Amino acid sequence: MAEKNETGLPRAVMIAWGMVQAPQRGPSRGLSHERIVAAGIEIADAEGLAAVTMQAVAGSLGFTTMSLYRYVSNKEELLRLMQDTALKLPEAIELPAGWREGMGAWALLVRDAYRAHPWALEIPRGQVSVLMPYSMHAAELGMRALAELEVDDESKLGVILVVSQLAASMVALERSLADEGLVAATGEGVALLSEVITAERFPHVHRLYGPSVFGSDAGADGGAPVLDDSSLGVDDEYLLGVDLLLDGLEERQARSQGHVGTSSHE
C-alpha cells in the first residue's frame, strides 16, 4: 500500500511533484530523487524489472542502501516514480489539427512510451498513477486533442483511459509474442493442422489458419520455412482498435447534434 502522510496524499505523489525536500545533510546529500529514479530506469531497461532492488540502485550510484531510504521509503515508492517517469510523453509537441487526427497521434505516442520501457507494464496502475505529473501531462495532452469533440468531459476522459489500456495490452501482447518466437511449421505440420482445424469444426476461422499463416513450403534445407518477423507485430490490430473507438466517438457526436448516421469519416 502506498505510504501516506497528514495530507492524505501518497508520498510517491508528493515526491513526483517536488513537494518533498531532499535531505540537506549526511553522507547521501549527493543523491536526489531524480538520480535515484534514473538509475532504477537504467537497470530496468538493461536487465528487467526484477533486477531493480534498493541495493542494486544504491550500488549503481555508489551509495549504501540505507542512503536510498532517506529519499524513497521503499521499493514500491521507487517503482511508482520510475513508472511515471518512464511513460512520460514529449512535453513540447504539437498534435495534428482535428480531434480525430490528434487522438490518433496521441494513441501512437502512448504506445511508443510503453514500447520504450515495457517493464512498466509489470507495475500496477491505479489511483496513485493518475495523480502523478507525467500521467497528468499525458491526460492533458489527450484532452487537448479532443477539445473540439462535442461530447462531455467524462466521455473524453473515458476515451483516454480506454486508449491507454489498449496500448498497454497490445504492447504486452507484442512482448509475449516476441518471447515465444516464431511458429514456423513444415509442410507436414501444416497438413496435420489442416486435419484438425477444418471448415466443419470451425466454419468461421479455419481460413485464418491455413498454409499462408504457418508457411506451406519447407525451407531450402528441408527444415521449417522462415517467416517474416513482422508476423509477430500487432500494429494493424492496434490501429484498428483505435479507429473503431474514434468511429464510435464520431457517431456519438453526430447523435448529440441530431445528425445520426452522418459520420464525417465515411
Domain range annotation of the chain: 11-86, 99-179+234-256, 187-226
Whether residue 73 has pLDDT greater than 90: yes
Q: Are 111 and 78 in contact (CB under 8 A)?
A: no
Q: Are 228 and 179 in contact (CB under 8 A)?
A: no
Please tell me whether residue 82 adopts helix, strand or coil conformation.
helix
Task: Report d(CA 249, CA 241) in Å as an integer.
Answer: 13
pLDDT tens for residues 133-169?
Answer: 999 999 999 999 999 998 889 989 999 999 999 999 9
| Cell numbers 532492488: residue | 53
Which of 116, 92, 224, 91 lies closest to 167 in space, CA to CA? 116
pTM of the model: 0.82
Q: Which three cell numbers stand for residue 102?
A: 490528434
Whether residue 76 has pLDDT greater than 70: yes
pLDDT tens for residues 244-256?
Answer: 999 988 888 888 7
Q: Residues of 193-231 as b/e, b for ≥16 C-beta within 10 angstroms?
A: beeeeeeeeeeeebeeeeeeebbeebeeeeebbeeeeee
Task: Report d(CA 72, CA 32) in Å as an integer.
Answer: 10
pLDDT tens for residues 80-128?
Answer: 999 999 999 998 889 999 999 999 999 999 999 999 999 999 999 988 9
**Mean predicted confidence (pLDDT) in 222-238:** 60
Q: What angle do CA 63, 64, 68 make, to 5 degrees?
A: 85
Q: Which one-letter amino acid corresponds to residue 204?
A: H
Whether residue 227 has pLDDT greater than 60: no
Higher pLDDT, 46 or 262: 46
- pLDDT for the residue 179: 81
**Mean predicted confidence (pLDDT) in 193-222:** 70
11-86 in CATH: which number? 1.10.10.60
Q: Cβ atoms within 10 A of the Cβ of 243, count?
A: 14
Reported confidence tier of residue 218, pLDDT bands at 50, 70, 90 = very low
CA 17 to chain centre: 22
pLDDT tens for residues 37-63?
Answer: 999 999 999 999 999 999 999 999 999
Q: Residues of 125-150 as b/e, b for ≥16 C-beta within 10 angstroms?
A: beebbbbbebbeebbebbbebbeebe
Which of 82, 58, 53, 60 lies closest to 70 in space, CA to CA? 58
Mean pLDDT, the chain, rounded, equals 85
Which of 65, 61, 43, 62 lies closest to 52 in space, CA to CA? 43
Please tell me whether residue 175 adopts helix, strand or coil conformation.
helix
- pLDDT for the residue 28: 58
Q: Are 214 and 189 in contact (CB under 8 A)?
A: yes
